[in-house]
Amino acid sequence: MNESIASTLLDDPMVPVPIPAQVPVKEGMAELPNTHLGYWDTGGSAEPVVFLHPASGSALVWLYQQPVFAKAGHRVIAYSRRNYYNSDSAREENPGTASEDLQSLIEFLGLEKFHIVSSAAGGSVAADYALSHPERLLTLTVSSNNLAATKGYIAEAAAMVKLKEWDDLPRWFRELGPSYRGVNPEGVAKWAELNHKSETGRGARQKLVNVVTPEKLETLKVRTLLMTGAADMFTPPSILRMIARHVPINEVVIVPECGHSAYWEQPEFFNRTVLGFIGRNSK
């Protein structure tokens, strides 16, 4: 494990970051064997980066990442999972699995190898995919997620973090850190707007292919960047370090003054860190 804590010399978390102008993308509907998923794609033949959104988001939320990763020389792709903005609902009788939906999307887009960048619930899908299809991945980035661990001491520790009233708390309170909420009301409002558009409240819950335990994580074959905010109430640094004990090839980054949504709260640091990791581990 190689752990680092973000330096604030270059990024002042108290200064709001304006959303950058977006680059042109192709927006489409992927017609997959069992569903239709809305996506966008900057196109081209550059090395692909596929973004997997949190449960509070969809393909809409990567406003800070889309132009930055494209201008850094990548083909940038994001999509909405079933039950989210512009994608089909998951049917009760056959909800499918999100990681196999991702594999179908990759085949639809004609990708061979690619990088995954994920946040929160998207990290569960990313880890499930990485365990099932490691040969397709160049790197795996998981921010603010316990890599879908559902059995063993990591899952038990994560459950201990939550209050019984957890689900009654507002999304913005659970997922945005106190420093960000205190200084950036416009950013909080924009985050909440995207959350409202993204979550449809429909469809069955999709399952995972793999039952993830600490022992299962030790079989992960993909170079992995693990990130979380120092004030993340879902995946605090202690949980992330537990995960790192079992992931064979990893780097750990703890982002100070940051909650559960590092991609949104500290986008400049998030982008620079992920691009640096990808650059060190590209084909």
> Residue 229: inside a domain, yes or no?
yes
pLDDT score recorded for residue 163: 79
Look at residue 1 in the predicted model and tell me its pLDDT: 61
The answer as to whether 12 is a domain residue is: no
14: in domain: no
Domains identified in the chain, total number: 1
pLDDT at residue 8, as a whole number: 41
Q: Considering the entire predicted model, what is its pTM?
A: 0.94
The domain of 40 spans 2-7+19-280
Task: Please tell me the predicted confidence (pLDDT) of residue 283.
Answer: 65
Question: How do residues 176-185 score in pLDDT, each as one tens digit?
Answer: 999 999 999 9
| pLDDT the model gives residue 161 | 85
Q: What tens digit of pLDDT does each residue of 187-235 get?
A: 999 999 999 999 998 999 999 999 999 999 999 999 999 999 999 999 9
- Below-70 pLDDT ranges, the chain: 1-11, 13, 283
CATH number, domain with residue 224: 3.40.50.1820
CA atoms within 13 A on the CB side of 176: 25
Q: Is 138 a member of any domain?
A: yes
Give the pLDDT of residue 14.
Answer: 73
